[in-house]
Amino acid sequence: MRYLFWAVKFIAFVMLFGFAMHNANPVTLNFFFNYTWHAPLALILLVFFVSGAVIGLLASLGQVIRLRRELVALRKEKRQPINSIVTAPPTVAFEPPRDAL
């Protein structure tokens, strides 16, 4: 299974490398205020992909921190001794059989 995973990674790398080499022509991006950027298409795609991944990680950072705090609180609660947790014994209501007279 490990060799299959490495083979898939190698094939993906070769395909992406071929894509980058095939699209090595310079591209011009026109930003606001007459700012232009001249770079190869593969570099521009890489920069925007990485920036999108970073923005996605930053967007989920708040939820990760909240879940870690909740996990710490639950682990602390789990370490409490059983005697300190007071629970009432379960009550079972006796009900006579319904087919009896």
* Residue 101 within a domain: no
Distance CA 27, CA 41 (A): 6
* Residue 8 within a domain: yes
Query: Could you tell me which residues come within 8 angstroms of residue 25 by beta carbon, excluding any fewer than 6 positions away?
Result: 40, 41
Lowest pLDDT segment from 1-5, 18-22, 50-54: 18-22
How far is the first Cα of the chain from the last one, in angstroms, to the nearest whole number?
68
* Residue 15 within a domain: yes
* Residue 46 within a domain: yes
Confidence of residue 82 (pLDDT cuts 50, 70, 90): low
Distance CA 47, CA 30 (A): 15
* Residue 94 within a domain: no
Confidence of residue 52 (pLDDT cuts 50, 70, 90): very high
Q: Average pLDDT in the 48-58 region?
A: 94
What pLDDT does residue 101 have? 61
Token code pair at residue 26: 């310079």
Distance CA 53, CA 101 (A): 73
Structural domain for 20, as ranges:
2-81
Number of domains in the chain: 1
